[in-house]
Amino acid sequence: MSEKIRVLLSEEEVDSRIREIAAKISRDYAGKEIHLICVLKGGVFFTCELAKRITVPVTLDFMSVSSYGDDTKSSGVVKIVKDLDQPLEGKNVLIVEDIIDSGRTLSYLIDILGKRKPESIHLCTLLDKPERRVRDVKVDYSCFNIPDEFVVGYGLDYAQKYRNLPFIGVVELGEN
């Protein structure tokens, strides 16, 4: 089995939209500090690009949550692989995710983090697949709604490959 990658969103489109979302976040959080929680591994590329463009003070922490394994479909089982290093009490938290599809992972994460008494919790994603939703999550900042295709690049992977692509591509599986 071999994969081909078809460009869905170019590097320029992604960069432009991240600038727009960062400007909106900066306006919405004017006069406040924002605590970004990067959901690893996929979210790291987006989080770094977003953080560089936010103009209000930013602190940053990382969390690793797994629900995929090496498959192209969510397993539905959410597991915390790496928890946060810093407490959230009183902070304006912005969870930064690479992609939201079923909503299971983010619903779980918002519930868990909400119990840690942050001032606020909001959600920002690079990619959103709203038609795949099985759990309702409020996405406050979304760069792109995309069709129900398996995508890679800009941090998203297929079996740990393709994270480093500077664009968003669709994996097209084929036979050798």
CA 113 to chain centre: 16
Q: What is the pTM of this model?
A: 0.89
CA 168 to chain centroid: 13
Q: What is the spatial distance between Cα 154 and Cα 167, in angstroms, rounded to a whole number?
A: 6
Residue 74 scores a pLDDT above 80: no
Per-residue pLDDT, 61: 97
Residue 65's closest CA among 29, 38, 25?
38
pLDDT, tens digit (0-9, with 9 covering 90-100), for 1-21: 477 999 999 999 999 999 999
User: Is the Cβ–Cβ distance between 96 and 38 less than 8 Å?
Assistant: yes
3-state secondary structure of 69: coil
Active site residue 140: no
**What does the domain layout of the chain look like in residue ranges?**
10-149
Q: Which two tokens stand for residue 99?
A: 């992609």
Catalytic residue among 70, 83, 101, 140: 101
Domain at 10-149, CATH from 2.60.260.20, 3.40.30.10, 3.40.50.2020, 3.40.190.10: 3.40.50.2020
Question: Distance (Å, rounded) from C-alpha 17 to C-alpha 126?
Answer: 9
Encode pLDDT of 17-42 as tens digits.
999 999 999 999 999 999 999 998 88
